[in-house]
Amino acid sequence: MIGSTLGAYEIVDEIGRGGMATVYRAYQRNVDRYVAVKVIHRAILVDQVSIERFNREGRLIARLEHPHILPVYDYNGQNDPPYIVMRYLAGGTLREIMGQGRLPLREVGQLLAQVASALDYAHRQGVVHRDIKPSNILVDADGNAFLTDFGIARLVEGAEQLTGTGMALGTPGYMSPEQGMGAVIDGRADIYSLGVMLYEMLTGAMPYKAETPMGVILKHISDPVPDLVAANPDLPESLNAVVRKAMAKAPDERYGTAMELARAFNAAIGPSPQATPAQLQSYVAQTIQLAEEKRAALMAGVTSPLPAEPLPTPRGAVTPPRPTLGSQRTPRLAATEEMEPGASRPANRAVLIGGVAVVVVAALAIVALLAIRGGALPDEQSGTAVAISGTQ
């Protein structure tokens, strides 16, 4: 889809892919901004019933307004393919940030509190996220977290389900026991998943591992919560109780709200002054730089009418120097193997010019040969067709 247009959105490049959708960065020319466009896979919405369900889901997501929930700008279930338009954040996901290194406990606590406040707000609106994990949390250049992807959310009140029957809801590594067993769930399932994510942030590993996704689900159902300090001896013992309560097998034994979990975590690590999350900001800057370098490598030598996007500079962050691919600004039109036919590249122009030159020389040779032999030029029925594909 790169190079194509969905409504007012010009698809620039791919930034994420999952089982239900692919997310692209797109340019909205009429307001001069970049957005994230989540394109739903055609296999998900196969009939009018599923399309209407998608539209109801879009209205549900769009009504959620919170400082730490990624805003939805637009959605269109009638388009082929259907899509949702959201705010674009260059900082990337918490999954990418965690790949840069482990965060200080105080910064983990700040991020946890932001996500927890967003979750509690959604729960008060009757919405259970059902898929809390690092890749569904985006981080901006200042280190602020934004919860996203309520695509498999459902209303707690009422029997109407917003997802298709028989569809796997959630990610096995983060599923609560009741979710893995297919039972009715509420916001406490999200608190369990938040506890799993907290364990991963503190230790760098998942609490349960198995050969198959079902094996992981069974461990969530029956195995005790692993010892946090055994996995990371640098952690205070008091955090063991926090994570164990968040990941209790019985929902009634967990924290009643996500903010209760966040407050318990911050109390366990001890008081400290509120500080700028400098390490998190540094990791975000590195993630942005890596994305820009990758994009520059893909689009090297490609011209584009889209404006260049300045690299955000986080306040207070110190980013180690990294090798770059050049000082030129990154053009906006991606040149990848997925580029649609008809999108121009300098290399394609060279091929076209070379091909035309060969055809002209060959034609002159035929004319000269026939003139020597006194023959006639072949007509359209008996002539040889020469096609140059991929250009217009």
Would you say 328 and 355 are in contact if contact means Cβ atoms under 8 Å apart?
Answer: no
Q: What sections of the chain are H helices per DSSP?
A: 48-62, 94-98, 105-124, 177-180, 187-203, 213-222, 228-231, 238-246, 258-268, 278-298, 346-373
Q: Considering only CA atoms, which of 213, 218, 153 is closest in space to residue 189?
A: 153
Longest pairwise C-alpha distance within the chain: 100
Going from the C-alpha of 230 to that of each of 127, 203, 376, the distances in angstroms are 35, 9, 90
Can you read off the two tokens belonging to residue 178?
């009741």
Q: Which residue type, as a one-letter code, is found at position 6? A: L
Number of alpha helices (DSSP H) and beta strands (DSSP E) in the chain: 11, 10
DSSP label at residue 176: -
Would you say 147 and 290 are in contact if contact means Cβ atoms under 8 Å apart?
Answer: no
Q: Which of 120, 131, 140, 149 is catalytic?
A: 131
Beta-bridged to residue 83, according to DSSP, are 39, 76
DSSP 67-116: TTBPPEEEEESSSSS-EEEEE--TT-BHHHHHTT-PPPHHHHHHHHHHHH
Is 149 annotated in the active site? no
CA geometry: angle 237, 238, 244, nearest 5 deg: 100
Active site residues: 131
